Structure 1
Amino acid sequence: MGKSNAENDSTKDATVDIEVPDTAHQISTDSWFQVAFILTTGVNSAYVLGYSGSIMVPLGWVGGVVGLVLATAISLYANSLIAKLHEHGGVRHIRYRDLARHIYGRKAYALTWALQYVNLFMINTGYIILAGSALKALYFLFRDDDQMKLPYCITIAGVACGMFAISVPHLSALGIWLGVSTILTVIYVLIAVVLSIKDGIQSPARDYSIPGDGASKAFTIIGSSASLVFAFNTGMVPEIQATIREPVVKNMMKALKFQFTIGLLPFFLIIFAGYWAYGSSTGTYLLNNVTGPVWVKSLGHISAFLQAVIALHIFASPMYEFWDTKFGIKGSALNIKNLSFRFMVRGGYLIFNTFVAALLPFLGDFMSLTGAISTFPLTFILANHMYLVAMGDKLASSQKLWHWFNIVLFSMASLAATIAAIRLIVVDSKTYHVFANV
């Protein structure tokens, strides 16, 4: 399609006869390759520096490897189901909640939007925590004191994220920033992997046993399953797919295949290298484990910080689109009115994110709870049920049974993971205080 929003809003494309909903943001202009890099940026974001500790340590080699491989396959499958429904019923469903309303009705719209909002809010809060943690780690490379506390670093990170959000009007406008993000990702992945391998070669035998015992160990293992699905968090496939040019479904499938093949190479490399090098002592921020030249580690921390700022913008874009469309913010991004609106609304949103991040800076807890209460329902349960309802009698009995099996299985997994995540938060609340300098 490749038209401006003024031409697209609430009209039908004469060629494909697909209705395009009204939106203040740009749609149908990006190549599948750019969209693939948006997806890859999300999965290889600076969060990946924590997966050796949050996934591999609780699960061990067998559970971690098998879990990651299964999560990869299941996530690709579920995302493909949503992608195939993008033009269902002659309408482009450019928002996840719009697709839910089309299939189920108004109540499902509100519920899906609530789940998605919680999902994205917690992801964005986690990015600010992660960026703040990188700044704190950078500070400690040069100063051996406690003057720069984590809440201060989180505040600085929040300001940086706010400035970026005001400067970049919508998802398609990331453009060159996706290239910058890729370079930053390569930098911290290479640094973490190379230094981990160096440490692993020089270190004595590591302990790979799963920490804990009894009920504590069982809850930790269950909770880590939520971290597994969080790692592939794509609870905004329709919003990302809205930016891709025709043919929409075909191009999105190309982007997804790129994300879950070539795009996952650095993801697996850093997770396995980190766990191999440090075993059960691997922390939730891998660059705190590695040893090496100060300037190299500094470069890793700076890269992680900057990449987190860019990645946050991707996962905050559905909220930005909602506000911009609701209040009719269109036209030049440099228009004073538009700049003022982004400054107040996006700035206010990120101020609240930053406050919550500083209040409860437990990164692992965010990942587990987000995966349990929102990623499981959005990515797996709803994806299978939406496809089942939308396709109806077009599916064979065996296909319907398969989708129902997935719905029941992931509903049970979501419930178990939620209980485990809440328990983890309760345990951590006894260890850490609010605005903790962890």
Structure 2
Amino acid sequence: MGFLFGRKMYYITWVFQSLTLLLGNMGFILVGGKALKEINSEFSETPLRLQYYLGMTGAAYFAFAYLIPTMSAMRSWLVVSAVLTFTYIGLLLTVVIKDGKSDENKNYNLKGSRVGQAFGVLGAISAAIVCNTTGLLLEIQSTLCKPAVKNMRKALGLQFTVGLVVYYGVTLAGYWAYGSGVAEYLPKELSGPKWVKVFVNSSIFLQSIISQHIFVVPVHETLDTKYLKLEESMNSATNLKRRLLLRVTFFAINTFLTAAFPFMGDFVIFFGSFTLIPLTFVFPSLIFLKVKGKTARMEKKAWHCFNVVAFSLLAVATTISAVRLIIHNTRMYSFFTDT
């Protein structure tokens, strides 16, 4: 963006990407903390406050980020992540379908006014974009074996076929089984048995450790490049100390902010609408129009112009919806509320 549109656009893109990665990391901390709390709830009727579990999650994320400092060091962990994901999704769907068949009194009526429902739809669109973003395209592509573009297209094809079927399959199954009042954290609704709930939440917690690192490792590597001694080994005594300080500072700040705002998920949705929609849909079309606008066929130019206009309007609408949700929850919750 900076090469084509100037230095100002470079900084705008950099800010958007950084905010997306940072807020995404906070969202993962929230998910990991909720998973740990659900595990504790299976063994105690009075689990600790959510903030304690967020602290444990932040500590686990720190340890992983310190021991696995770069994206290239994650190769074997991606296999572990995939196994955990498909295992807990299989168990989750099994229990969800069982619960859905046993409950004949489900309520599918939507709550709230028409305006509230419309804003809810916009918020859901933003949340879906956050979960399906390709915002890490460049970072991931740089780690792939050649031919990078061909391999990246294969990865995207898998993401938007199998990935979407699983993602929306779980979502629709949860709505069918528990109705419109289903919790935003679906494992909270599971009826049991206990070992399944513990296993599902444990898998979610462990998988979140790996997933969050994929999103935030570009930030870690940027900080390492700036503050570590590049002429020395990554594991030299000096660099180990500096990396320790960088990781501790990063996760201490992110964990504190997540604990302070129990509705941090709303902020993730906000930045999903404010930053991810432009990054994922608007900016690529702007690049195409800038580079090939004079030589491309008319239908291609029309398509990319449509993307710029339509998704810019969608970004504005979903951002307004997210701000409305944040204001609403600010009135309901106080700092460090246990949710």
Q: TM-score, normalised by structure 2?
A: 0.95
**Offset, 1:205:** 4.0
How many residues are matched?
A: 338
The aligned residue for residue 215 of structure 1 is 115
| 1:366 pairs with 2:267 | yes
**Offset, 1:107:** 1.3
The aligned residue for residue 139 of structure 2 is 239
CA distance in 2, matches of 1:332, 1:141: 45
2:220 alignment partner, one of 320, 326, 348? 320
Deviating beyond 3 angstroms after TM superposition, the runs of 4 or more aligned structure 1 residues are 327-333
2:102 alignment partner, one of 202, 206, 218? 202
CA distance in 2, matches of 1:315, 1:151: 23
Partner secondary structure for residue 180 of structure 2 = helix
1:151 alignment partner, one of 42, 51, 74? 51
Gaps of 5+ in 2: none
**Is the contact made by 1:192 and 1:274 (CA closer than 8 Å) also made in structure 2?**
no
**Offset, 1:398:** 2.2
| 1:352 pairs with 2:286 | no
CA distance in 1, matches of 2:72, 2:193: 38
**Is the contact made by 2:227 and 2:242 (CA closer than 8 Å) also made in structure 1?**
no
CA RMSD of aligned residues (A): 1.6
CA distance in 1, matches of 2:162, 2:241: 40
CA 1:169–1:270 in structure 2 vs 1: closer, same or farther (change >3 Å)?
same
CA distance in 1, matches of 2:165, 2:121: 25
2:285 alignment partner, one of 384, 389, 400? 384
Q: What code does the residue aligned with 1:343 have?
A: L
Bigger mean CA offset, 407-416 vs 264-273 = 264-273
1:342 alignment partner, one of 236, 243, 262? 243
CA distance in 2, matches of 1:307, 1:415: 33
**Offset, 1:402:** 1.4
1:300 alignment partner, one of 178, 196, 200? 200
The aligned residue for residue 436 of structure 1 is 337
**Offset, 1:328:** 5.2
CA offset digits 1:200-219 (Å, max 9, x no partner):
01111422222211322222
2:18 alignment partner, one of 117, 137, 157? 117
CA distance in 2, matches of 1:173, 1:391: 37
**Is the contact made by 1:199 and 1:291 (CA closer than 8 Å) also made in structure 2?**
yes
Partner secondary structure for residue 437 of structure 1 = coil
The aligned residue for residue 178 of structure 1 is 78
| 1:224 pairs with 2:124 | yes
Partner secondary structure for residue 281 of structure 1 = coil
CA distance in 2, matches of 1:263, 1:221: 21
**Offset, 1:302:** 0.8
The aligned residue for residue 90 of structure 2 is 190
**Offset, 1:158:** 0.3
**Is the contact made by 2:69 and 2:221 (CA closer than 8 Å) also made in structure 1?**
no
CA distance in 1, matches of 2:201, 2:277: 31
Q: What code does the residue aligned with 2:202 have?
A: I
Q: What code does the residue aligned with 1:341 have?
A: R
**Offset, 1:363:** 4.7
CA 1:265–1:335 in structure 2 vs 1: closer, same or farther (change >3 Å)?
farther
**Is the contact made by 2:99 and 2:191 (CA closer than 8 Å) also made in structure 1?**
yes
CA offset digits 1:387-427 (Å, max 9, x no partner):
22122323122211211111111111111111110110110
2:326 alignment partner, one of 422, 425, 429? 425
CA distance in 2, matches of 1:205, 1:342: 54
**Is the contact made by 1:208 and 1:279 (CA closer than 8 Å) also made in structure 2?**
yes
**Is the contact made by 2:26 and 2:258 (CA closer than 8 Å) also made in structure 1?**
yes
CA distance in 2, matches of 1:118, 1:419: 18
CA offset digits 1:179-225 (Å, max 9, x no partner):
11112112221221111000001111422222211322222222222
The aligned residue for residue 142 of structure 1 is 43
Q: What code does the residue aligned with 1:105 have?
A: G
**Percent identical residues:** 37
CA offset digits 1:56-94 (Å, max 9, x no partner):
xxxxxxxxxxxxxxxxxxxxxxxxxxxxxxxxxxxxxxx
